């Protein structure tokens, strides 16, 4: 167990809908990363938050948004869902990106858009 909790584990929804994925980082970790992993694909960096503020953005679609709350948990919102959004979504947390420390991954949320 990495200490990073993601909910839900599985999500099936229809095209056009909106979903929210939740991530609770390890105790003490201030930084949260979100990644998308499609079938047989690598880990595509979406966005990073540090202590409530957005720190870096990757290839995140405009239909996607995220935030990190004062208690440090983070949510990834996906709207106007398309079939191609079906993927595993991982979040990872680390103490402080500047400290060059390990990022721990959650178990992921498997999103299926039908």
Residues that bind another protein (CB under 8 A): 2, 33, 35, 41-43, 45, 48, 50, 55-56, 58, 90, 92, 97-98, 100, 102-108
Question: Are the C-beta atoms of residues 106 and 91 closer than 8 Å to each other?
Answer: yes
Rounded distance between C-alpha atoms, residue 51 and residue 98, angstroms:
13
Nearer to another protein (CB atom), residue 17 or residue 51: 51
Helix, strand, coil distribution of the chain in percent, nearest 5 = 5, 50, 45
CB of 18 to another protein, least distance (A): 25
Phi and psi (nearest 5°) for 62? -65, -25
CB of 4 to another protein, least distance (A): 8
Nearer to another protein (CB atom), residue 58 or residue 84: 58
Nearer to another protein (CB atom), residue 60 or residue 79: 60
CB of 29 to another protein, least distance (A): 13
């Amino acid at each position: 167990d990495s200490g990073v909790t993601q909910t839900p584990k599985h999500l099936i929804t229809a095209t056009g809908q909106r979903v929210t994925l939740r991530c609770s980082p390890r105790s003490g970790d201030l930084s949260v990363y979100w990644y998308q992993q499609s079938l047989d694909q690598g880990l595509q960096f979406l966005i990073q938050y540090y202590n409530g503020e957005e720190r870096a953005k990757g290839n995140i679609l405009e239909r996607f948004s995220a935030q990190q709350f004062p208690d440090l948990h983070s949510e990834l919102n996906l709207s106007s869902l398309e079939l191609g959004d079906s993927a595993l979504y991982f979040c990872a947390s680390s103490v402080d990106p500047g400290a060059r420390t390990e990022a721990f991954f959650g178990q992921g949320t498997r999103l299926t858009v039908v």
